[in-house]
Chains A and B, each alone.
Chain A
Amino acid sequence: MSRKAVVIVFPGSNCDQDVAAAFAAATGQQAELVWHTEFSAHQAPLAILPGGFSYGDYLRAGAIAARSPALDALREHHRRGGLVLGICNGFQILTEAGLLPGAFARNHCLHFLSQDVSLRVEANDSPFLADFACGEVIDLPIAHAEGAYQPDQSHPDSDGRVALRYCNQDGAVSAAANPNGAIGNVAGLLDQTGRIFGLMPHPERNADPALGSGHGGRLFRSALQAVSHLG
């Protein structure tokens, strides 16, 4: 299989085409859109769960998509060494499915928030962030209403590792730099293997330097490098 990435499309996903286009522009590799019922573990070494409002965010953001057969296939994909990237609603689906710990509450301002944020890279021993230095500050946009990350109280810090935290432009992690009330300013999380990465910000939205910092493109290139020998 020469295909490096697929984007799993759920009913109500709305960043699927954006991610595919940004990934292709940043890496030169196509990311194919796959309807959630047609996803299987063998399709590509990198599976991306895009942002949007899967199933209308009904019940809870990500809750219904987490029951899709695609998630069983995703577990198999991960078990075989595949990479999983969940962006925004994709991250919410991963927590709802138990592939990453914790859960999301409504933003503390109680409404949807679209803005640019600064993020401090907390861990780079993952394929997704290998191109970044620990402590580096990157800029990405957020766009969500349920982004207040709540860690799993029964297993604090046991299953997940924080990869990105909201910070100010100088890298200070503070309440003032926290846009949504996420506990510990958590914006991005890795599983123990480092191969499942969920983040609330949208790397696809500024991968193109015409749209912002271009930092999102580095993230895609870093992920591609990790899978270039796979598949």
Chain B
Amino acid sequence: MAEPGVRVAPAELSVRRRLESALGRAATDTEAAMVSVLWSEHCSYGHSKLALRQFASRGPRVRVGPGENAGVVDIGQGYLLAAKIESHNHPSAVEPVEGAATGLGGIMRDVLATGARPIAFLDALFFGPPGVAADERLAQGVVEGVAHYANAVGVPTVGGEVTVDPAYAQSPLVNAMCVGLLPESHLLPSAARTAGELVVLLGSTTGRDGIAGASFASRDTSQDLGDRPQVQVGDPFRGKLLIEAVQVLVERGLLSGLGDLGAAGITSAAAEMAQRGHRGMTLDLAQVPLREMAMGPAEILLSESQERMLLVIRPQDLPQVLAVAQHFSLAAAAIGQVTARQQFTALLGAQTVADLPVEVLAEGAQLFDLSSLAKPPVVAGRTQPATLAEWARGRLGGWALADRRQVFERYDDRVGLRTTRLPGTGAAWVKVPEALSTLALSVDSRPWLSATRARQAGRELVLEGVRNLAAAGARAIALTDCLNFGDPDQPEVAWSFLETVGGLAEAAAAMAIPVIGGNVSFYNGEGARPILPTPVLGTVGLRADGIPDRVAVDNGRLWLALVGSRAAVGDPWALPDPDYALETEMAEAVIELLTLPFSVAVEDVGDGGLWQAVMEQALRWNLGGHFHTADDQGDGLEAWCAEGGSRYLLVTTDPEQAGDWATGRGVPFCLLGQLAGDQMTCADSRAALWRAPLSQLKDAAQRRFWR
């Protein structure tokens, strides 16, 4: 008989059979329950693990690659950076405030588990359009949840993006990236390496919240909305105390291993730490500090109560560790021991409730090779406009220009005193005086491109990250990816997933930027309608020396120029093939350009093409202008709307000097026009293609994500 609170669904019966054949004996209900969660897609990456092996994760800076908590790279001066992006889509679709909040908490603990202090968040959020009450509730709730958690734990939200599209109606995506900083000496393995050491549970008490949340996230949320208790509840106050307590423990050298409790709770953290250390663990569940009465062993092992960490410590340090926990009013207890025998044993007092080989738990899940299943989708794509005027009308009527400050102002963007550029203009800047450097951070996605040209979209995301950072004066040093897709057993979803990973892996390797970790989220979408395939890429870089943070503009006379070029391919909606060597050259040229006194700002030409980049500058400076492209950019529509190619928009005080620099450097350069007046005109070399008063742009910027 199953114990209360844990249901055994028919699909889990096959998992049980698989487990029993691996064990060669009957499994206990507790063991079956543990394995059914740990082998779920959410925990085991069964459908994605094989494909993710394509990512090149090594490099001279990489200290920790994928597979642990967050990836870690060396930024010099004895300092390391931890970074990871993760999704919390399904819980946010059910309970947006708590879902988003616990998403932030989860990714923060992943970074904390490396020994780092979290110093920045970025979020990529995807909502259905406003006008539908349920979608507005989701959008507003998600932003409130992000603010609720991030603001209170005192980690600034320094950037991110907001995408509005009907494809995300009722299926919002919440992707959060966290970056942490640590001196080299603080780096901890998320592993139990020494037999005889103690396993300590630190943080909140353990309750029934979020039990089997991981397997819930691997299911279709539209099927059963009676699952509300499976969404965990975040407590940023405890989260903040946990950050401070862990910092003290790390500084005093009291930890030999550290893991975060997320999906599948104690089971997952303990099994993974034992597996990485090639050791086993024996845990006594009677020692776990509980917040509820009469919890069964499977409930304790699988609870996803938030704000908990698993510590591995030397036995003699226990009193000191407990004293630190007490100082911060956190629960803490030694719940077990690291063993030489690679066996995961859970006791409840004298009774053994689970006794499984670590390898079976951690590595026993079935892996699926999606390539045998994958089939290219028949995608109509979007109906494309025939004129620039039609294109502009579409974008002005949407949320492309909507001022993101309506979201960012709800986040504490500067606690920590590191934010040297506030969110809203390109990549975020986060100063790290400890390592004598400034980070540049961005998150990017291109869902429609991914839907129609998955492989190109994968490549383009990497290149966009590189360009974003170059425009911020920085060189990319690491990538972290969050891959949001529908049901991977659908051939079209499998195909676009594999194509996306292939494109990302190819471009990342070609640009020599290691992928240091990430997250896959499948089963997104309502019923039979999946979301757009939505890979989100977080890019981490370091700003080059000698670039001023701000440039004073005295007389206010500014020109826009296009720097770089895009091979005209005759179809504005197709991407030219990537030229990786040229991308690197152009990125270096732009970084040099930013050191010159006539450069006020550079933005890369990305989503929405040149039109979008120029409109953003018009809004930023509150000025219109007459802007025209040259013939080598293709016809008017292609020149203004097309994406791809290594192109940047320069804001300059002196177009002549800028042009001379470009000639000397051998970089394509096209002066578009001066920022002036309150009328906008976009033209090619022959004729004006679109005109509008600046006020129309401002109206578009005023559009709200909810009422």
Contact = CB atoms under 8 A, between A and B. Distances in A.
Interface of A: 11-12, 14-15, 18, 21-22, 35, 52-53, 55-58, 111-115, 141, 143, 145, 204-205, 208, 210-211
Contact of B154 (A15, A55, A115, A205): A15
Interface string B408-424: 11111111110110000
A226 B417 CA distance: 26
Nearest to A9: B244
A82 B154 CA distance: 29
Contact of A113 (B327, B329, B409, B414): B409
Nearest to B419: A211
B328 interface: yes
Interface in B228-251: 235-238, 240-241
Given A56-B235, A112-B147, A112-B411, A18 B241 contact: no
Q: Chain B interface: which size bin? A: 20 to 34
A199 to B, nearest CB: 16
B405 to A, nearest CB: 8
Nearest to A51: B415
A112 B417 contact: no
A14 B147 contact: no
B345 interface: no
A35 to B, nearest CB: 8
B549 interface: yes
Given A12-B240, A52-B154, A210-B549, A112 B410 contact: yes
Interface string B326-356: 0111000000000000000000000000000
Contacts of A57: 152, 237
Interface string B128-171: 00000000000000001001000111100000000000000000
B241 A111 contact: no
Contacts of B144: 111
Contact of B237 (A56, A143, A204, A210): A56
B235 A18 contact: no
A143 B412 contact: yes
A114 B413 contact: yes
A14 B549 contact: no
15 contacts: A11-B237, A12-B152, A12-B240, A14-B154, A15-B154, A18-B415, A21-B417, A53-B236, A56-B235, A112-B410, A112-B411, A113-B410, A141-B414, A205-B417, A211-B420
B629 to A, nearest CB: 36
Contacts of A58: 237
B237 A53 contact: yes
Contacts of B415: 14-15, 18, 143
Given A12-B241, A53-B154, A114-B412, 6 more contacts: A14-B152, A114-B410, A143-B415, A210-B431, A210-B549, A211-B420
A11 B328 CA distance: 7
Contacts of A52: 152, 154, 240
A12 B416 contact: no
A53 B411 contact: no
DSSP majority for the A interface?
Answer: mixed
B706 to A, nearest CB: 12
Contacts of A113: 409-410
Nearest to A14: B154
A11 B409 CA distance: 25
Given A11-B237, A56-B152, A112-B151, A18 B417 contact: yes
Contacts of B416: 18
Given A53-B152, A111-B147, A11 B414 contact: no
Contacts of B410: 111-114
Nearest to A205: B414
* Interface-central residue, B147, B241, B414, by most chain A CB under 10 Å: B414
Contacts of A14: 152-154, 240, 415
B583 to A, nearest CB: 31
A25 B241 CA distance: 26
A153 B328 CA distance: 38
For the complex of A and B, 10 pairs with smallest distance between CB atoms: A14-B154, A56-B237, A53-B152, A143-B412, A18-B417, A112-B410, A112-B147, A111-B410, A12-B237, A114-B412
Given A14-B153, A57-B152, A112 B412 contact: yes
A113 B410 CA distance: 5
Nearest to B550: A210
A210 B550 CA distance: 9
Contact of B329 (A11, A111, A112): A11
Nearest to A143: B412
Interface in B388-437: 408-417, 419-420, 431
B414 A211 contact: yes
Nearest to B143: A111
A211 B421 CA distance: 8
Nearest to B416: A18
Contacts of B408: 114
B158 to A, nearest CB: 11
Contacts of B431: 210
A57 B236 CA distance: 10
Given A11-B329, A53-B236, A57-B152, A114 B241 contact: no
A52 B154 CA distance: 7
Contacts of B153: 14
A204 B431 CA distance: 16
Contacts of B417: 18, 21-22, 204-205, 208, 211
A27 to B, nearest CB: 16
A111 B549 CA distance: 30
Nearest to A113: B409
Contacts of A55: 237
Contacts of A56: 152, 235-238, 240
A94 to B, nearest CB: 20
A186 B152 CA distance: 24
B152 A143 contact: no
Nearest to B240: A12
Contacts of B241: 11-12
Nearest to B155: A14
A114 B237 contact: no
* Interface-central residue, A11, A113, A114, A210, by most chain B CB under 10 Å: A114
B31 to A, nearest CB: 37
Contact of A210 (B240, B329, B420): B420
Interface string B210-241: 00000000000000000000000001111011
A218 B435 CA distance: 28
B272 to A, nearest CB: 30
Nearest to A56: B237
Nearest to A58: B237
Contacts of A114: 408-414
A52 B243 CA distance: 14
B149 to A, nearest CB: 11
Given A210-B420, A211-B420, A115 B237 contact: no
A159 B220 CA distance: 60
A55 B235 CA distance: 11
B434 to A, nearest CB: 12
A51 to B, nearest CB: 8
A63 to B, nearest CB: 13
Contacts of B154: 14-15, 52-53
A56 B153 CA distance: 9
Contacts of B420: 210-211
A222 B652 CA distance: 40
Given A111-B144, A210-B420, A210-B549, A53 B412 contact: no
A211 B148 CA distance: 24
A205 B416 CA distance: 8
Contacts of A12: 152, 237, 240-241
Contacts of A112: 147, 151, 410-412
Contacts of A143: 151, 412, 414-415
A71 to B, nearest CB: 18
Contacts of B237: 11-12, 53, 55-58
B549 A115 contact: no
Contacts of A22: 417
